[in-house]
């Protein structure tokens, strides 16, 4: 098979594209012919070594895939050749990645593709939408009628947060550039505030109403906890999910006097049960046509190094880069 892989940590240039031995599934695994692979920021962290995890070299990069079952082990019931499937948790903790023509996936990390779903659009949702689900429901404990602020609402994770929070009955205040306001409102945001406005904090406060913000989420990695805590209602929560290198000030006094809390999570630490719950929710919304990525750019698998470079430089902001092995085979 052909794959995008590394033999050492480093910049995007360490990514190679070429043949590797075909993987073989274990008894509880499923062998998948890959049709689409997403490129995420976290993939660049693993490739560079910034995110320390078990990496067996040569190491196939990438976490998320959509594909078709080729073979299922005897301990992987429910999957048969020809089934369309997806996964969003390869490429770390000792598991080889998704950026290859064939991938081995543990059966408990594999989910069925909803009828009618486009492979590239679904794989573009796999990581950001699962992150959004965990932030809102697992760690944020959102409930209908609560005020939710989403910073970076036009991005991949942000747009999924807005959609899911609105679908759950929350009042969503989206923070994004003014030019993205219509798109963000179409996903269910009740109010949109331009983060560049010098009065942005007061506009968020006004849009959230007199009780304040119940759940504050920042996907833009600014993590201004001083402003966030000031905006929180009694019992409000902040969920931190991005900004690995940020070191913000936390105003502890106002935080505890209002019975508020800050929780952080990384999707890499999610359990298979949590990931399966997220996948079921994503599948329902995707099948209904409610949840879609803000934008998808399709590239051949051989362009993996350039895709990593563009993600790191910010050139891919507002859309998802998706690698398609079939584009290499067709040329």
Per residue in 10-28, pLDDT (tens digit) is 999 999 999 999 999 999 9
In this prediction, residue 42 carries a pLDDT of 94
Tokens read off for 306: 């350039």
What domains appear along the chain, each with residue ranges and CATH number?
A: 2-113+295-329 (3.90.180.10), 127-268 (3.40.50.720)
For the segment 169-185, the average pLDDT, to the nearest whole number, is 97
- Report the phi/psi class of residue 69: left, alpha or beta, with left for phi > 0 and alpha for psi in -120 to 50: beta
Alpha-carbon distance of 207 to 27, in angstroms, equals: 54
pLDDT band at 316 (very low <50, low <70, confident <90, very high): confident
CA gap 161, 29 in Å, rounded: 31
What's the distance, CA 177 to chain centroid? 21
- Residue-wise pLDDT for 106-120, tens only, equals 999 999 999 999 999
Rg (CA), the chain: 20
What span, in angstroms and rounded, lies between the C-alpha atoms of 9 and 297? 26
Task: Give dist(CA 255, CA 264) in Å, integer.
Answer: 15
Q: Which of 290, 278, 218, 272 is nearest to 248 (CA)?
A: 218
Residue 244, pLDDT score? 87
Q: β-strands 2-6, 65-72: how paired?
A: unpaired
CB atoms within 10 A of CB 319: 15
Question: If you count them, how many residues does the chain have?
Answer: 331
Average the pLDDT over 31-55 and give the result: 96
Show Cβ contacts of residue 47 under 8 Å, excluding neighbours closer than 6 positions. Answer: 6, 9, 10, 12, 14, 15, 61, 308
Q: Which two tokens stand for residue 189?
A: 């945001």
Q: How confident is the model at residue 331 (pLDDT cuts 50, 70, 90)?
A: low
Instruction: Specify the pLDDT at position 297.
Output: 97
DSSP 236-301: EEEEE-S-TT------HHHHHHTT-EEEE--GGG--HHHHHHHHHHHHHHHHTT----S-EEEEEG
Mean pLDDT of 21-38: 98
Per residue in 184-204, pLDDT (tens digit) is 999 999 999 999 999 999 999
- What would the mean pLDDT of 64-69 be, rounded to a whole number? 98
């Amino acid at each position: 098979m052909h794959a995008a892989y590394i033999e050492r940590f480093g910049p995007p240039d360490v990514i190679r594209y070429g043949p590797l031995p075909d993987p073989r599934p274990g008894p509880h695994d499923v062998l998948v012919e890959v049709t689409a692979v997403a490129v995420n920021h976290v993939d660049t962290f693993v490739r560079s070594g910034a995110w320390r995890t078990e990496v067996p070299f040569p190491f196939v990069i990438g976490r998320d895939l959509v594909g078709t079952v080729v073979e299922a082990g005897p301990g992987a019931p429910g999957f048969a050749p020809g089934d369309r499937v997806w996964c969003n948790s390869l490429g770390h903790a000792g598991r080889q990645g998704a950026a290859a023509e064939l991938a081995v996936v543990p059966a408990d990390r594999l989910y069925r593709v909803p009828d009618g779903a486009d492979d590239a659009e679904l794989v573009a949702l796999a990581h950001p939408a699962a992150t959004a689900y965990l932030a809102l429901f697992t760690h944020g404990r959102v409930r209908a009628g609560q005020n939710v602020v989403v910073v970076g609402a036009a991005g991949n994770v942000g747009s999924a947060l807005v959609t899911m929070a609105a679908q759950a009955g929350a009042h969503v205040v989206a923070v994004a550039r003014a030019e993205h306001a219509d798109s963000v409102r179409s996903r269910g945001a009740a109010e949109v505030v331009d983060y560049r406005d010098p009065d942005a904090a007061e506009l968020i406060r006004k849009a959230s109403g007199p009780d304040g913000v119940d759940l504050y989420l920042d996907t833009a990695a600014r993590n201004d906890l001083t402003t966030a805590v000031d905006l929180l209602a009694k019992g409000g929560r902040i969920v931190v999910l991005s900004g690995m290198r940020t070191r913000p000030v936390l105003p502890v006094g106002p935080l505890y006097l209002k019975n508020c809390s800050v929780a952080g999570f990384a999707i890499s630490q999610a359990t298979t049960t949590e990931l399966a719950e997220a996948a079921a929710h994503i599948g329902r919304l995707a099948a209904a046509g409610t949840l879609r990525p803000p934008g998808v750019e399709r590239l051949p698998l051989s362009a993996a190094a350039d895709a990593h470079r563009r993600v790191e430089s910010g050139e891919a902001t507002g859309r998802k880069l998706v690698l398609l092995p079939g584009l290499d085979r067709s040329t």
